Amino acid sequence: MKLYGMQQSRSFRCLWALEESGLQYDYVPIKLRIEETDPDSAQNPAYLAVNVQGKVPSLKDGDMTLTESVAILQYIARKAPAAGLVPKCNDQVLAKHDELVSFVLAELEQPLWSKGKHIFALPEEQRIPAMLETAKFEFAKALNTLDHLLEDNEFAIADHFSIVDILLAQTFNWALRFEFDLPQKYVNLRNRHYDRPAAKRAMELIS
């Protein structure tokens, strides 16, 4: 199994999950926004053959390639069921797990990435500074919804660390890096989960 990634992009959540899982894998650093002649470039033809978008993450396992981070997380969880990254529980709890995964991607993460795109990722002529206040508004609204979706427990689902916790922790880490207002309880959640041995090992691999 081979994971292609870059620093603290969405690939980090997959790297973290691999460290939690105990699966054997190779990590391949990819560089974004550099010339395609660099063999490590996301625009190099060799990498574009893996991921036509020239983005990370990408996971190769045998003849299969996945290029969406949540699909990769789910795949890792199913490959290593003993790690409990998807909780072993009834259908209703699993449905809540799926709801939180969808909410993080569709609502909580999007304002952060919107800001990221308009401060560094998009070409300068495509950036709209005025939308930064909209992103701030949308993130605050998503946090209010999250307050109603999460119970006051150590973990998001079933009293056990899962891929939802990875997604929440990385999203809150982005919020801090992008200078969004974040309630202290979510800062504490980020700090608690990033203190896990697997998270620390993943951070060492990208440092």
Domains of the chain: 2-84 (3.40.30.10), 91-202 (1.20.1050.10)
CA distance 80 to 57: 19
* pTM of structure: 0.95
CA distance 135 to 138: 5
125 Cα distance to chain centroid: 28
CA distance 163 to 104: 11
**Closest to 196 measured CA to CA, from 158, 175, 166:** 166
Per-residue confidence in pLDDT tens, the chain, 207 aa: 999 999 999 999 999 999 999 999 999 999 988 899 998 999 999 999 999 999 999 999 999 999 999 999 999 999 999 999 998 889 999 999 999 999 999 999 999 999 988 888 888 999 999 889 999 999 999 999 999 999 889 999 988 999 999 999 999 999 999 999 999 999 999 999 999 999 999 999 998
31 Cα distance to chain centroid: 18
CA distance 16 to 1: 14
